[in-house]
């Protein structure tokens, strides 16, 4: 028994017969392989006419295809098709060796510097790496091609397969078999010779049903002691696997895009923006059904850490771990206008807020979010969302009208004021405990150009500055929102506070008028005021992957007023050196219009959200505890603490009791435990 | 006043952003649904934030119904002419004749050389493009006897099979500004595709373009009208007009009709990725500009 991968059956079509592909997909074929002189064009076309079937370009001849151009083309098609592409190359072994090195090198965006290739056949003096494909594109070779570099081997006929070289188990074997092959011949190819991918020449959709696919799959299943993995990984990858994970049981829908520690793409997904991580497996569902599959896999691993990641900016939501599972919903990143007249927008959890802002700007709309464009929609819109338009338009969750979720048991529900209202209440402030939101529906606000100011003011007396700034904010109309950032004093330098403010107006006089009281809180060292669409403020994130290190320590508090007592205590905290980052964002205004019991986010009376970060948790807590008397709750998204203490601070007793009851109903097994976990069995 | 009498085409120039790649697809689908005539994409395979243009065009072709698709313009040094000819023909057959060929002699030679291709001087690049057009037309001439034999300085073909022919009489549009290239277009291509922002002296620079092309066409025994005049444009919609293509849709229509009648430009390709701008351009500017030009042509 040589079979090592789950059996796949594909339709092999000539580039003239592209119309077969959607039929093959409908008939349950696993892949469509295209051959012929225009295979690439045809396969790209087919990608646009199919949704799930895998796409194999057969017989791309090198050097006729330039490997550097092929690398770019392959990345584009893999991105366009959501990670469905595979290649089968032909050519002289030496030439193919170079070609595969060039393709892999250009796709490896984690490596620094441009790709250089010295030849002899291809000379690349220095080409930028990228774009990276959506997944590791399997490359098969024909004949005596460079097997050690390839992911598989391609035989044009069963006879060729019988004479196959000895292949390590992780290499796939594909073979072209005649349409009218008998079951005995097919079983011989699969069982005796280990062919895991059978390609059947199809020129007419009517032929699709003539191949004995069903009988073959049944016969193979009967002969196998246990299911085979969709992708068999080489020993070098398997050796880096973490204990307790059933890697070979990853559902077929997820296996191709799953990333484990030995995989080439692991560096790009292991860590988050602020946190270093080493998860044992990252699953990347592309559809709601795949999210349910991923959760089923997570349920089968209750002993492991498990996080859900939208774009990896979570502070309270870890979304990475050591040796556990991560489900990344970055691929669910659609942004769709549902109803122009109601400004109704449907957004996937993996979209970034800068993309949302960009998409809505032409309509003259915006949804208030956070202050950083790289943050994903999912994490922010299930926690709160304190952003640049908060005082005028409230929290991000206040713009939410419905959420579609996959629950812990895999069930799919819609939550809104009318449907599952309890869940809709919970998802707005404690959503990370209740499921994976697969689509949000927001009502956007009409937001034209805004004034965006960045000011540097002297802070010789930080306490006095805080009091003045707090008063200026509270006295300002709601069209002004903003933030203040201060660091520890540095010897020999004047102390500076960085102020930022957004004035929702396109009238320069109004903007200047609103900013004056804020700018007057201290001597002005530097200022920059621009008139910009909201999308212009949010376009501030780099597209690169995250490479966070270590573990952040962050504390959050909500505060009603910046009283002189609070301000003095805050100044002492800054002087202590325990915090290297001190930030206050404005809330209040429209945030406080919503009744405290309307959403799980309950501490609505506060005018300010304070966040501090430090290196030493114990030292930070000692200094932070001096301010405790001034707090009225906390905002969980800026808090790294866990346990009963922070839960009690984040949620008033009645809110927490209701959340606990709902947790027992919706997630009794505590599957969602990574972000401000409300344990179903807890009592307080 | 110059007018070659072509029907007017309105199109968009969409950024083929690699991530998220769906952005470009969405813009193309929006242009198709809005009823625009053309969606086009730049081609810089050495720029890694862009997705491969040909692959994107093929995918977009499958996701759209009516709109014509072309490169704007494809980088010849990165793409061998025989492959260009065959792949365009194949996609034209898949789409029932919706593909046109936009070609450029190559820009950004550092990037091209970095990817392992030969650096050419501007003069050599014109010669290479001249040869490429001949090779492309040979490939498309599927019914001619024998294989293709072409022994050029830059491209050699020894007996390759002809075909496939495109599904329709495919145009070759060339991005160009300088006299030698323009004369090549007048002699051998079907259209010229410059960008307004690169035209020396702004839109008045088109007079020179027409002069070179018309002269070369006549010299080669062709009608100047055999060469379509296209133009990439930028603009912003605003309630009040402040300049050329800066104002309300009615003003845009007047601006473009003026260029059509004055310089004979018959295809206006707007650089935008924005579905709302695409909708306004297709729904308000294009019909109004067509009406203005038709009225003026009827009058004269």
CATH number reported for the structural domain that contains residue A545 in this entry: 3.40.462.20
Task: Report the CATH number at residue A194.
Answer: 3.20.20.30
- Best to test chain B binding among A44, A111, A130 (most B CBs inside 10 Å): A44
Average pLDDT of the residues in A148-177: 89
User: Across the strands, what pairs with A31?
Assistant: A10, A54
Min Cα distance A426 → chain B (Å) is 31
| List of domains in chain B | 9-299 (3.20.20.30)
Q: Compute the radius of gyration of chain B from its Cα atoms.
A: 19
A116 touches chain B (CB under 8 A): no
Q: Answer yes or no: is A531 within a domain.
A: yes
A117 touches chain B (CB under 8 A): yes
**d(Cα A292, Cα A83) in Å, to the nearest integer?**
19
**d(Cα B206, Cα B201) in Å, to the nearest integer?**
9
Q: Which residue did the predictor score with more confidence, A229 or A105?
A: A105
B25/A79 CB distance under 8 A: no
Chosen domain end from A223, A257, A283 = A223
Report the 3 state secondary structure along B7-23: CCEEEEEECCECCCCHH
Chosen domain end from A206, A223, A240 = A223
Binned at pLDDT 50, 70 and 90, residue A492 comes out as: confident
**d(Cα A365, Cα A369) in Å, to the nearest integer?**
13
B275, pLDDT greater than 90: no
Average pLDDT of the residues in B123-129: 97
Closest-CA residue to A67 (of A103, A14, A104, A112): A103
Q: Answer yes or no: is A671 within a domain.
A: no
Closest-CA residue to A43 (of A88, A6, A5): A88
Count of structural domains within chain A: 2
A69 touches chain B (CB under 8 A): yes
- Best to test chain B binding among A37, A45, A108, A114 (most B CBs inside 10 Å): A45
Average pLDDT of the residues in A4-25: 93
Above pLDDT 90, what percent of chain A? 82
Average pLDDT of the residues in B144-152: 94
Q: What is the ipTM of this complex?
A: 0.96
Report the 3 state secondary structure along A243-280: CCCCHHHCCHHHHCCCECCCCCCHHHHHCCCCCCCECC
Residues of A in contact with B20 (CB under 8 A): 333, 355
Min Cα distance A477 → chain B (Å) is 28
List the 571-590 stretch of A: residues with Cβ below 8 A of B. none
Closest-CA residue to A569 (of A512, A631, A524): A631
Q: Answer yes or no: is A316 within a domain.
A: no
Residues of B in contact with A117 (CB under 8 A): 116
Q: Answer yes or no: is A578 within a domain.
A: yes
Q: How many residues does chain B have?
A: 300
DSSP B270: E
Closest-CA residue to A263 (of A308, A305, A231, A220): A231
CA B262 to chain centre: 20
Beta strands at A8-14 and A197-201: parallel, antiparallel or unpaired: parallel
Q: Where are the alpha helices (DSSP H) in A303-404?
A: 353-360, 377-380, 390-393
Question: Are A271 and A547 within 8 A, CB to CB?
Answer: yes
Q: Is the peptide bond before B164 cis (omega within 30 degrees of 0)?
A: yes
- How does the average pLDDT of chain A come out, rounded? 93
Min Cα distance B192 → chain A (Å) is 25
**d(Cα B227, Cα B267) in Å, to the nearest integer?**
12
- Best to test chain B binding among A41, A57, A130, A446 (most B CBs inside 10 Å): A41
Average pLDDT of the residues in B31-38: 97
**d(Cα A603, Cα A607) in Å, to the nearest integer?**
10
Q: Answer yes or no: is A250 within a domain.
A: no
pLDDT given at position A494: 84
Average pLDDT of the residues in A321-333: 96
Other CB atoms within a 10 A radius of the CB of residue A97 amount to: 19
Kindly report the backbone phi and psi dihedral angles of residue A174, in degrees, each rounded to the nearest multiple of 5, phi listed first. Answer: -115, 145
Closest-CA residue to B184 (of B223, B139, B133): B133
- How does the average pLDDT of chain B come out, rounded? 95
B59/A37 CB distance under 8 A: no
**d(Cα A559, Cα A564) in Å, to the nearest integer?**
13
Nearest to A131 among B19, B115, B276 (CB): B19
Q: Answer yes or no: is A343 within a domain.
A: no
Give the residue numbers spanning the domain of A644: 450-650
Residues of chain B in Cβ contact (below 8 Å) with chain A:
18-22, 25, 45-49, 51-52, 54-56, 58-63, 78-79, 86-87, 90-91, 94, 113-116, 274-277
pLDDT given at position A148: 86
Nearest to B51 among A47, A131, A334 (CB): A131
Residue A121 Ramachandran class (φ > 0 left, ψ -120 to 50 alpha, else beta):
alpha
A128/B86 CB distance under 8 A: no
Mean pLDDT lowest among A539-553, A555-569, B201-215: A539-553
Strands across the sheet containing A400-406: A335-339, A344-347, A436-443, A400-406, A412-416
List the 337-376 stretch of A: residues with Cβ below 8 A of B. 355, 362-363
Q: Answer yes or no: is A372 within a domain.
A: no
Instruction: Classify B3 as helix, strand or coil.
Output: coil
- Best to test chain A binding among B32, B116, B156 (most A CBs inside 10 Å): B116
A18 touches chain B (CB under 8 A): yes
- Best to test chain A binding among B55, B74, B106, B166 (most A CBs inside 10 Å): B55
Q: How many residues does chain A have?
A: 684
A98 touches chain B (CB under 8 A): no
- Helix (H) or strand (E) holding A513, with range, is helix A508-519
Q: Answer yes or no: is A393 within a domain.
A: no
Binned at pLDDT 50, 70 and 90, residue A544 comes out as: low
Question: Are A559 and A630 within 8 A, CB to CB?
Answer: yes
A377 touches chain B (CB under 8 A): no
Instruction: Classify A636 as helix, strand or coil.
Output: helix
Residues of B in contact with A129 (CB under 8 A): 48
Mean pLDDT lowest among A71-80, A161-170, A314-323, B128-137: A161-170
| Whole-number Cα distances in Å, A126 to A108, A113, A297, B100, B114 | 14, 9, 43, 32, 5
């Amino acid at each position: 028994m040589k079979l090592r991968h789950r059996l796949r059956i594909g339709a092999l079509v000539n580039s003239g017969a592209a119309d077969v592909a959607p039929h093959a997909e409908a008939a349950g074929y696993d892949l469509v392989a295209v051959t012929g002189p225009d295979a690439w064009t045809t396969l790209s076309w087919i990608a646009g006419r199919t949704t799930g079937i895998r796409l194999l370009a057969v017989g791309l001849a090198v050097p006729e295809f330039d490997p550097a151009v092929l690398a770019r083309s392959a990345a584009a098609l893999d991105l366009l098709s959501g990670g469905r592409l595979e290649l089968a190359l032909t050519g002289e072994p030496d030439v193919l060796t170079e070609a595969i090195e060039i393709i892999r090198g250009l796709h490896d965006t984690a490596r620094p510097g441009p790709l250089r290739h010295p030849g002899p056949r291809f000379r690349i003096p220095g080409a930028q790496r990228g774009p990276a494909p959506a997944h590791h594109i399997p490359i098969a070779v024909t004949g005596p091609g460079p097997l050690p570099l390839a992911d598989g081997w391609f035989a044009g006929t069963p006879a060729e397969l019988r004479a196959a070289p000895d292949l390590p188990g992780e290499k796939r074997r594909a073979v072209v078999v005649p349409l009218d092959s008998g079951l005995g011949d097919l079983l011989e190819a699969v069982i005796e010779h280990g062919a895991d991918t059978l390609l059947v020449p199809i020129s007419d959709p009517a032929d699709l049903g003539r191949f004995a696919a069903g009988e073959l799959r049944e016969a193979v299943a009967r002969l196998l002691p246990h299911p085979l993995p969709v992708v068999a990984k080489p020993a070098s990858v398997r050796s880096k696997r973490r204990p307790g994970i059933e890697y070979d049981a990853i559902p077929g829908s997820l296996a191709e895009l799953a990333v484990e520690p030995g995989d080439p793409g692991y560096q790009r997904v292991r860590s988050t923006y602020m946190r270093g991580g080493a998860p044992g497996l990252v699953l990347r569902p592309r559809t709601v059904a795949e999210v349910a599959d991923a959760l089923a896999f997570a349920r089968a691993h209750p002993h492991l850490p498990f996080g859900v990641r939208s774009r990896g900016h979570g502070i309270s939501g870890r979304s990475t771990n050591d040796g556990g599972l991560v489900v990344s919903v970055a691929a669910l990143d659609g942004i769709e206008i549902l109803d122009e007249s109601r400004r109704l927008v449907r957004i996937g959890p993996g979209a970034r807020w800068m993309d949302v802002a960009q998409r809505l700007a032409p309509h003259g709309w915006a949804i208030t979010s956070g202050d950083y464009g790289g943050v994903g929609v999912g994490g922010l819109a299930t926690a709160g969302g304190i952003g640049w338009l908060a005082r005028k338009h409230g929290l991000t969750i206040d713009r939410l009208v419905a959420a579609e979720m996959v629950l812990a048991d895999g069930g799919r529900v819609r939550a809104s004021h009318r449907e599952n209202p309890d869940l809709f209440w919970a998802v707005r402030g404690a959503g990370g405990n209740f499921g994976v939101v697969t689509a949000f529906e927001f009502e956007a606000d009409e937001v034209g150009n805004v004034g965006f100011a960045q000011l540097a003011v002297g802070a010789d007396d930080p306490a006095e500055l805080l009091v003045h700034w707090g008063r200026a904010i509270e006295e300002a109309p709601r069209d002004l929102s903003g933030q203040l950032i201060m660091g520890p004093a540095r010897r020999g330098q004047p102390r500076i506070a960085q102020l930022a403010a957004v004035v929702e107006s396109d009238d320069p006089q109004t903007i200047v008028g609103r900013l004056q009281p804020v700018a007057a809180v201290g001597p002005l060292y530097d200022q920059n005021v621009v008139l910009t669409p909201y999308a212009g403020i949010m376009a501030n994130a780099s597209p690169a992957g995250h490479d966070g290190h270590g573990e952040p320590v962050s504390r959050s508090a909500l505060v009603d007023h910046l009283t002189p007592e609070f301000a003095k205590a805050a100044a002492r905290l800054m002087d202590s050196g325990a915090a290297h980052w001190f930030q206050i964002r404005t809330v209040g205004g429209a945030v406080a219009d919503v009744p405290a019991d309307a959403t799980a986010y309950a501490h609505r009376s506060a005018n300010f959200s304070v966040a501090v970060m430090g290196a030493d948790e114990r030292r930070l807590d000692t200094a932070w505890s001096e301010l405790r008397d001034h707090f009225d709750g906390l905002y969980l998204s800026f808090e790294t603490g866990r346990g009963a203490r922070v839960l009690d601070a984040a949620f008033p007793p009645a809110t927490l009791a209701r959340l606990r009851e709902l947790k027992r109903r919706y997630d009794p097994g505590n599957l969602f435990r990574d972000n401000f976990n409300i344990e179903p069995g807890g009592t307080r | 006043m110059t007018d070659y009498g072509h029907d007017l085409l309105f199109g968009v120039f969409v950024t083929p952003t690699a991530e998220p790649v769906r952005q470009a697809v969405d813009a193309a689908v929006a242009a198709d649904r809005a009823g625009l005539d053309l969606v086009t994409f730049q081609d810089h395979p050495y720029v890694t934030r862009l997705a491969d243009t040909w692959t994107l065009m093929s995918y977009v072709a499958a996701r759209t119904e009516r709109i014509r698709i072309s490169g704007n313009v494809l980088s010849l040094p990165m793409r061998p002419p025989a492959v260009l000819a065959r792949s365009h023909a194949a996609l034209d057959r898949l789409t029932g004749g919706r593909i046109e060929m936009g070609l450029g002699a190559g820009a950004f030679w550092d990037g091209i050389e970095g990817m392992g291709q030969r650096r050419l001087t501007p003069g050599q690049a014109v010669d290479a493009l001249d040869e490429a057009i001949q090779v492309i037309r040979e490939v498309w001439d599927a019914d001619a006897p024998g294989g293709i034999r072409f022994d050029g300085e830059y491209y050699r073909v020894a007996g390759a099979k002809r075909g496939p022919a495109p599904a329709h009489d495919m145009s070759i549009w060339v991005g160009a500004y300088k006299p030698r290239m323009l004369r090549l277009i007048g002699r051998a291509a079907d259209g010229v595709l410059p960008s307004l922002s690169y035209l020396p002296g702004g839109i008045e620079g088109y007079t020179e373009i027409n002069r070179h092309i018309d002269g070369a066409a006549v010299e080669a025994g062709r009608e100047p009208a055999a060469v379509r005049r296209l133009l990439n444009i930028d603009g912003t919609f605003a309630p009040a007009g402040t300049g050329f293509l800066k104002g309300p849709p009615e003003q845009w229509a007047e601006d473009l009709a003026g260029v059509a009648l004055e310089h004979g430009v018959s295809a206006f390709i707007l650089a935008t990725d924005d579905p709302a701008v695409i909708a306004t351009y297709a729904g308000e500017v294009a019909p109004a500009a067509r009406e203005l030009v038709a009225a003026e042509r009827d009058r004269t």
